[in-house]
Amino acid sequence: MSEIEKIKNQFFSKLEEAKDLEKLNQIKSELFGKNGIISNQFKVLATKSDEDKKTFASELNTLKNDLQIIISKKVEKIKIEEINKKLENEKIDVTLPERSFRIGKIHPVSQVIDEISSIFSEIGFSVEEGPDVENEYNNFTALNTPKHHPARDMHDTFYLDEDKKTLLRTHTSPVQIRTMLKGKPPFKIIAPGRTYRSDSDQTHSPMFHQLEGLHIDQDISMGHLKGCLNYFIKEFFEIDKIKMRFRPSHFPFTEPSAEVDIGYEIKNDQIVIGEGNKWLEILGCGMVHPNVLKNVRVDHKKFQGYAFGIGIDRLAMLKYGINDLRAFFECDYRWLNHYGFDPLDVPTNYRGLSK
Ligand code: DAH
- Give pLDDT tens digits for 222-269: 999 999 999 999 999 999 999 999 999 999 999 999 999 999 888 887
- Residue among 144, 171, 208 to mutate when testing ligand 1 (max atoms within 8 A of CB): 171
Best residue among 145, 169, 251, 304 to mutate for probing ligand 1, ranked by most atoms within 8 Å of CB: 251
Between CA 187 and CA 179 the distance in angstroms is 8
The answer on pLDDT for 154 being more than 80 is no
* Pocket lining: 212 vs ligand 1, CB cutoff 6 Å: yes
- Higher confidence at residue 156 or residue 292? 292
Interval 203-216 mean pLDDT:
93
- Residue 179 beta carbon below 6 angstroms from any ligand 1 atom: no
30 has a pLDDT exceeding 60 = yes
Of the two residues 31 and 139, the one the predictor is more confident about is 139
Nearest CA to ligand 1 atom 2: 309
Pairing of strands 270-273, 278-288: unpaired
274 sits in the region (left: phi over 0; alpha: psi -120 to 50; else beta) called: left
Indicate the burial class of 347 (C-beta count within 10 angstroms; 0-12, 13-18, 19 or more). Answer: exposed
Amino acid at 328: F
pLDDT tens, residue by residue, 304-329: 999 999 999 989 988 888 888 888 99
CA distance 124 to 17: 88
* End-to-end Cα spacing for the chain: 107
Specify the CATH number of the domain 108-339: 3.30.930.10
Q: Residue 353: its pLDDT value, please?
A: 39
| pLDDT attached to residue 349 | 43
173 SS3 class: coil
Question: Phi/psi at 318 (nearest 5 deg)?
Answer: -65, -45
129: left (phi over 0), alpha (psi -120 to 50) or beta: beta
Residue 291 dihedral angles phi and psi, to the nearest 5°:
-60, -35
Nearest CA to ligand 1 atom 12: 308
CA-based nearest residue to 304, from 183, 221, 226 = 221
Whether 286 lines ligand 1, by a CB cut-off of 6 Å, is: yes
**Range in 258-262, 289-293, 351-355 the model is least confident about:** 351-355
Percent of the chain with pLDDT over 90: 52
Is the sign of the CA dihedral 162, 166, 169, 174 positive or negative?
positive
Segment 33-59 shows an average pLDDT of 87
Q: Is 304 in the pocket of ligand 1 (CB under 6 A)?
A: no
Q: What sections of the chain are H helices per DSSP?
A: 3-17, 21-32, 37-47, 50-89, 108-121, 136-139, 174-182, 222-237, 290-295, 312-320, 333-339
CB atoms near residue 165 (< 10 Å): 11
Q: Which range is most confident: 73-77, 245-249, 333-337, 351-355?
A: 245-249
User: pLDDT by residue (tens digit) across 1-26?
Assistant: 688 888 888 888 888 888 888 898 89
Residue nearest to atom 4 of ligand 1 (CA): 171
Does the structure show a pLDDT above 50 at 62? yes
Alpha carbon distance 177, 7 (integer Å): 104
The CA distance from 136 to 242, in Å, is 38
Q: Taking the complete model, does pTM exceed 0.75, yes or no?
A: no
Domain ranges of the chain: 3-89, 108-339
Distance between CA atoms of residues 32 and 68, nearest Å:
9
d(CA 163, CA 110) in angstroms, rounded, equals 34
Q: Classify 56 as helix, strand or coil.
A: helix
Q: Which of 54-63, 141-150, 267-276 has the lowest mean pLDDT?
A: 267-276
Mean pLDDT of all residues in the chain? Answer: 90
Q: 145, 173, 255: which to mutate for ligand 1, most atoms within 8 A of CB?
A: 173
